[in-house]
Amino acid sequence: AQKVTQAQTEISVVEKEDVTLDCVYETRDTTYYLFWYKQPPSGELVFLIRRNSFDEQNEISGRYSWNFQKSTSSFNFTITASQVVDSAVYFCALRRGLTGTASKLTFGTGTRLQVTL
């Protein structure tokens, strides 16, 4: 069974602070994909990153960075120098990597990030 846990329900920070969103996953598959999506109040899920299970390199994209550690089954997301526009709900998700299977996403419950001035 696939499971994603986002233990932080809500985080509030002041603009320019760094913030890390935690994600822990469970899977018996050796091949899988991990994702982060952002959901602003409009409702649409905005794709941020995809990482496959064989690539443990950390990634940085502007103010965003991701730390993937298979040893702890974690895929954490850090926003550096947060901005008010970063306020949203962030979801971590898991997908099986086997070909021929439905490419469904298993989502965590999300972390609501509130960035204030």
Partner 1 sequence: ETGVTQSPTHLIKTRGQQVTLRCSSQSGHNTVSWYQQALGQGPQFIFQYYREEENGRGNFPPRFSGLQFPNYSSELNVNALELDDSALYLCASNDRGPLNTEAFFGQGTRLTVV
Residues making contact with partner 1 (CB under 8 A): 4, 33, 35, 37, 42-47, 50, 91, 93, 99, 101-110
Least distance from C-beta 53 to partner 1, angstroms?
A: 13
Nearer to partner 1, 47 or 81 (CB): 47
Q: Which of 23, 18, 29, 1 is nearest to 91 (CA)?
A: 23
Cβ proximity to partner 1: between 79 and 91 the closer is 91
Q: How far is CA 25 from the centre of its chain?
A: 11
Query: Which pair of structure tokens corresponds to residue 105?
Result: 């996403």
From the CB of 21, what's the least distance to partner 1, in Å?
13
Contact 7, 22 (CB under 8 A): yes
